Amino acid sequence: MNNAPVRTVSDAKRDFYTHHTRPINSIYRRVVDELMVEMHLLSVNVDFAYDPIYALGIVTTFDRFMVGYEPENDKGSIFNALCRSINSTPEHYRGDAEALKASVGGMSLDDLKGQFENLSEGGDGLRGTLAAVANKEKFKYSRPFGVGLYTLVETAAAEDALKEKDTVEALFKDLASKLNISTDKLQKDVELYRSNLEKFAQAQEVMKDMLAADRKKREERQKAAEAAAEAISESVVTAPKAAESGEAAE
């Protein structure tokens, strides 16, 4: 029997900031905090089991909602700290996520849907991962798992196949039933994820406009300062000449 104390959110946050010591930009802080807390709470849940679909959801969420982060080099440090805060590694998460995504890279949406058929028979690779979920007595569903599943579908689907809300809902209702997971939870998480992506893109455009306006103001102030400095310099240079001209006239 393991009598070790259960790690707390405070423990995870302390470990995170041990590995990433720089402040996090305010617009992105909520993304990082929510991911950190979610990853921690799942890691200490006795019914939760890590799998590549969950890893893909974590990696995709981080990569998409950290687009535009400055300084760019800090993103690797932040993701490393997230993984280390739950005693894992970024290599583990990214390795599993990239391998899983690559496995559906050449599939059509129909090919991918075929992977969900007859999961009671088990299988290898992606089918093995899906079968483990479908056949698990107490599978702990999570939002990152839903995002990972959506990412697989998005990778295999044609560009305009997921535009219609009704089509998306019907598709994920079918997939949820094949995996023996809550249709309602999966559909809500997929809908929220898609909505948040749109909102984030809009927020980024607003930020770009604000930064551009701020940059323009700084440039205008700099030009005004340079013009003033040049005017002062000219007055200093021309004043002695004017004085010399006056002396010569005398």
Q: Which whole-number Å values give the CA distances from 156 to 13, 56, 94, 114, 165, in the listed order? A: 36, 14, 19, 12, 17
In tens, the pLDDT along 24-38 reads 988 799 999 999 999
Q: How far is CA 124 from CA 130, 133, 157, 170, in A?
A: 9, 13, 22, 27
At residue 239, the pLDDT reads 60
Question: What pLDDT, on a 0 to 100 scale, did the predictor assign at position 189?
Answer: 97
Averages of pLDDT over runs of 10 residues in the chain (250 residues) are: 78 96 90 97 96 98 94 96 98 98 94 95 92 95 98 92 91 97 97 93 80 78 77 64 54
* Domains of the chain by residue range: 9-208
d(CA 33, CA 30): 5
Asked if residue 94 lies in contact with residue 135, where contact means CB atoms within 8 angstroms, the answer is: no
**CA nearest neighbour of 161 among 110, 97, 199, 116:** 110
* Tokens of residue 11, six digits: 């423990």
Residue with tokens 């590549």: 52
pTM above 0.75, yes or no: yes
**Of residues 199, 97, 107, the one with CA closest to residue 161:** 107
Summarised one tens digit per residue, pLDDT across range 107-160 is 999 999 999 999 998 889 999 999 999 999 999 999 999 999 999 999 999 888
